[in-house]
Amino acid sequence: MSNTPVQPESGQSESAQPEPQQTSADSGQNVPYMRKIRSFVLREGRLTKGQQNALDNHWPVLGLNYQSSSLDLATVFGRSAPVVLEIGFGMGKSLVEMAKNAPDKDFIGIEVHKPGVGACLGDAAAAGLSNLRLFEHDAVEVLNDSIADESLDTVQLFFPDPWHKKRHHKRRIVQPEFVQLLRKKLKIGGVFHMATDWQNYAEHMLEVMQAAPGFQNESASADYVERPAHRPLTKFEQRGQRLGHGVWDLMFKRIS
């Protein structure tokens, strides 16, 4: 696999990364934080007519508003099913495809960029999906406040901003404190699935996750896994493969 990086897929983003106080990861309380180091730059862009129409027409059904208390996901979806949450879904093509291919699961997407939310809403409605809901909000705040502990079966983070300059590495969302927040929200046996096209970020993710209490690497070689069939191969990724660029998938299971 080549070490040549390619730029992240346009529109994909991360949410804010907390800088927490000293606290026990096993305290059972929400992870506190005093100030935020943003891991995204909010670039709104101009909404197309179709994106605005999708927001106007489909948000009431498929949209979720941030709230300071935990949502009852069984009530949200009208059933009890495994829940997959994706952080930074970009324009939402892959998320819609995954939800369409797995009707037995419920999907939640979090994105801060309104055009991507509008695009995803339009595609989800066109596909007739009832197992997908979207937040347009900061993912850390959603996870801290709106998502109950031990309620998620999978958390996905695909092609996040790599913040490749060393002075910006603190903005990378995969940090020890953030991982422990995800640990609380995942069920025992739940999986945190990451993918990146930047080798340095892949190495950073691996280092953070190997040191994270409560997680076990799903890789037989103790590093990366092959792209699982349920993660769609995007046009961006196919182009990168033709050019010899690498993509690294990591999957870690919560074991305690």
Average pLDDT over residues 93-104: 98
Amino acid at 240: G
The answer, yes or no, to whether residue 4 has pLDDT greater than 50, is no
Tokens 């997959």 map to which residue?
84
The model's pLDDT over 43-68, given as tens digits with 9 standing for 90+, comes to 566 899 999 999 999 999 999 999 99
**Strand runs (DSSP E) across the chain, as ranges?**
17-20, 33-37, 63-64, 83-87, 106-111, 132-136, 152-158, 186-196, 215-217, 248-254
Query: What does pTM read for this prediction?
Result: 0.83
Look up 149 and say whether it is catalytic. Answer: no
> How high is the pLDDT of residue 30?
47
Instruction: Give the model's pLDDT for residue 44.
Output: 60
Please give the single-letter amino acid code of residue 24: S
Q: Which amino acid is at 32?
A: P
**What's the one-letter identity of residue 111?**
E
pLDDT value at residue 39 = 47
Please write the tens of the pLDDT for every residue from 193-231: 999 999 999 999 999 999 999 999 999 999 999 999 999
Binning pLDDT at 50, 70 and 90, where does residue 139 land? very high
The backbone torsions φ and ψ at residue 52, rounded to the nearest 5 degrees and listed phi first, read -65, -40
In the predicted structure, residue 233 carries a pLDDT above the cut 60:
yes
Tens-place pLDDT, residues 161-191: 986 777 757 879 999 999 999 999 999 999 9
Candidate list 106, 123, 161, 249, residue with the active-site label: 161
